Amino acid sequence: MDSIVVTGGGPLKGEIPIAGAKNACLALMPATILSEEPLTLTNAPRLSDIKTMTTLLQSLGAEATSLQDGQVLAMSSHDLTSAHADYEIVRKMRASNLVLGPLVARMGYAEVSLPGGCAIGARPMDLHIFGLEKLGAEIDLRDGYLHAKAPNGLKGAEIPLEFASVGATENIVMAATLAKGTTVLTNAAREPEIVDLVRCLRAMGAQIDGEGTSRIEIQGVDKLSGATHQVVTDRIELGTYMLAPAIAGGEVECIGGRLELVESFVERLNAAGVEVEETQRGLKVARKNGRLKSVDVTTEPFPGFPTDLQAQIMAMLCTAEGVSNLHETIFENRFMHAPELVRMGAEIDVQGGTATVTGVEKLRGAPVMATDLRASVSLILAGLAAEGETVVSRVYHLDRGYEHVVRKFEGVGAKIERVKA
């Protein structure tokens, strides 16, 4: 099993290119099921999760080809042969459930295994099922599979979500594009990845209004056409690399970064003593002179502070002056990185959904273990500021969400290498 070795040292300087958004791409790819015509995605991230979704689409009879070193995905669902999303594929990645809505809308039926994913808490399918049933689908659970059918097609409906679920919003919006009549989705999630999906669907001929707000209205159409769409910048990768100079010192320009994607995150960085400047090519980040200040963080759905950056900012706050309180409101079990940071000398007390971090002068390198995708990169960030060598094991999680992570850190002067098992 591979590990990543980080040697803490001097400040970082240079630029880091930010990839297309994993979470956006994983929602955009199933959209190909909705049309018989080709869908091409550019600026695609080169990640294992993308390969998993490619395999899933191919198992349904779709054509999915990676071009230009993986940054272009050419897909076509003109001849789907199956509506069965097999457990052996779906268990590897939670986003596999996003084929459910498109399959029911296009083929009138679907058999989709209950999904897998990482160990940061239960994320049930209740809202996905609720929304599709409102559209007229009949769904039951048998032998670990969701069996859905809509023999007479889907029909528009009023769908009030109990919680602003990103995945449920995506599944329902895609299904509603081919439903008869108008669908109004309230308490919809507002994340940039949903805005990106709607822009793609609109380019395919869908009639949708309200993306980026809590009310999305979809007027169903008879069919969708093909399109070419550029995947939005990955705001989580962006925030992660913005933290590198904040933790290690120095100045880094994140190419492709956009402030509107990370405003709540940047507000917390500014409060801690980190400068963020918009440039013509992205965002430039530098730590002000002196020690960082403690800040409190509460994770919330967009436009609030993203849960997917909580582990990374915790690494930064481990050496900030004072006491920081991090409140996790999205997922349970999302402080599993805290004990590993404690191994590096951090002072962290976890009580339920709150982690209290008392800043220390210095972290110390240590052998640590990644427990999930974002935890793994938080330990690398901590290693940048630690004295000595940090060895992060179980880094296969990284490959799900960060492309060329070692190369990007090396490009700004970090002492980092990946060691094969």
Q: Within 119-234, where are the H helices? A: 126-134, 166-176, 192-203
pLDDT tens string 349-396: 999 999 999 999 999 999 999 988 888 999 999 999 999 999 999 988
pLDDT at 313 over 50: yes
pLDDT tens string 124-156: 789 999 999 999 999 999 988 999 999 899 999
Query: Which of 100-109, 328-337, 364-373, 395-404 shows the highest mean pLDDT?
Result: 100-109
pLDDT at 200 over 70: yes
Evaluate whether 317 touches 293 at the Cβ level (below 8 Å): no
Strands 12-17 and 250-255: parallel
Is 22 annotated in a binding site? The answer is yes
Average pLDDT for the chain: 94
Is 160 annotated in a binding site? The answer is no
| ∠ CA 39-23-131, rounded to 5° | 85
pLDDT tens string 260-272: 999 999 999 999 9
Cα–Cα distance measured from residue 137 to residue 147, given in angstroms and rounded to the nearest whole number: 10
Is 94 annotated in a binding site? The answer is yes
Cα–Cα distance measured from residue 341 to residue 379, given in angstroms and rounded to the nearest whole number: 7
pLDDT at 334 over 90: no
pLDDT at 304 over 90: yes
| Active-site position among 118, 200, 254, 318 | 118
25 classed as catalytic: no
pLDDT (0 to 100) of residue 119: 44
pLDDT at 57 over 90: yes
In this predicted model, which residue has the larger pLDDT, 334 or 61?
A: 61
Q: How confident is the model at residue 106 (pLDDT cuts 50, 70, 90)?
A: very high
Is 418 annotated in a binding site? The answer is no
pLDDT (0 to 100) of residue 397: 84
pLDDT at 226 over 90: yes
Q: Which residue in this structure is represented by tokens 């689908």? A: 137
Is 123 annotated in a binding site? The answer is yes
Q: For the chain, which domains are there?
A: 3-19+234-419 (3.65.10.10), 22-230 (3.65.10.10)
pLDDT (0 to 100) of residue 118: 45
Q: The dihedral of CA 152, 158, 163, 169: what is its sign?
A: positive
* Mean per-residue pLDDT, 89-95: 89
pLDDT tens string 109-127: 999 998 754 443 445 789 9
Reading the block at residue 96, the tokens are 């596999």
Is 97 annotated in a binding site? The answer is no
Evaluate whether 151 touches 177 at the Cβ level (below 8 Å): no
Is 86 annotated in a binding site? The answer is no
Cα–Cα distance measured from residue 287 to residue 246, given in angstroms and rounded to the nearest whole number: 5
pLDDT (0 to 100) of residue 120: 38
Is 124 annotated in a binding site? The answer is yes
Residues forming beta bridges with residue 285, ordered by sequence position: 252, 276
Element of type H or E holding 52: helix 48-59
Cα–Cα distance measured from residue 97 to residue 199, given in angstroms and rounded to the nearest whole number: 21
Neighbours of 280 (CB within 10 A): 4
